[in-house]
Amino acid sequence: MIYRIWYFIRETVVSLWRNLSLTLAAILTVGISLSLVGTSLLVREGADRATAQFQEGVEFIVFMNADHTPDQDAAIRQVLDTSPAISRYAYIDKLAAYEEFQVLFVDKPDLIESVTPDVMPPSYRIVPSDPDAANVA
């Protein structure tokens, strides 16, 4: 029995050595195929994680003109309060927008120095009731 196993191993090695180019081509083909499969699995997993991250956190940002009037602001709040498609909203004034800007660009002090709070636009952060909805208003 052991003799048959050794015979099998010896003949396999001899055959592989005789056809060295075919052996290397087969190994290379299997390696490339496994690399492609692994890469596609990694890309799919990354795409799944990226989309899962945004499924729960759908949010619209509506930027306002810096010179909007209180009447315009009241009209917008009235629409936001009465719309059934909107779950909640938050008003971000210029100072809050500037503070968020400083946090986002903490690694770029030159940019932070060149921007002042009065150039930041006020905005509304709006969360829709249904994250899958295409139209909110």
41 and 68 belong to one structural domain: no
β-pairing, 123-128 vs 60-63, is antiparallel
* CA–CA gap between residue 66 and residue 116 (Å, rounded): 13
41 and 92 belong to one structural domain: no
The mean pLDDT of 90-113, rounded to a whole number, is 91
73 in a domain, yes or no?
A: yes
Domain of 120 in residue numbering reads as: 60-128
* CA–CA gap between residue 128 and residue 82 (Å, rounded): 13
* CA–CA gap between residue 116 and residue 105 (Å, rounded): 13
Question: Are the C-beta atoms of 122 and 64 separated by less than 8 Å?
Answer: yes
The mean pLDDT of 92-111, rounded to a whole number, is 91
Other CB atoms within a 10 A radius of the CB of residue 136 amount to 16
46 and 66 belong to one structural domain: no
51 and 66 belong to one structural domain: no
Other CB atoms within a 10 A radius of the CB of residue 72 amount to 12
Q: Is residue 51 predicted with pLDDT exceeding 90?
A: no
CATH number, domain of 94, equals: 3.30.70.3040
Q: Is residue 68 predicted with pLDDT exceeding 90?
A: no
135 in a domain, yes or no?
A: no
69 and 14 belong to one structural domain: no
Q: Is residue 107 predicted with pLDDT exceeding 60?
A: yes
Q: What is the pLDDT of residue 123?
A: 92
Percent of the chain with pLDDT over 90: 38
Q: What is the pLDDT of residue 55?
A: 65
Question: Are the C-beta atoms of 77 and 112 separated by less than 8 Å?
Answer: no
Band of the pLDDT at 134, cuts 50, 70, 90?
Answer: low
65 in a domain, yes or no?
A: yes
31 and 70 belong to one structural domain: no
Question: pLDDT tens digits, residue range 3-50?
Answer: 788 888 898 888 888 888 888 999 999 999 999 999 999 999 988 877
* CA–CA gap between residue 38 and residue 47 (Å, rounded): 14
93 in a domain, yes or no?
A: yes
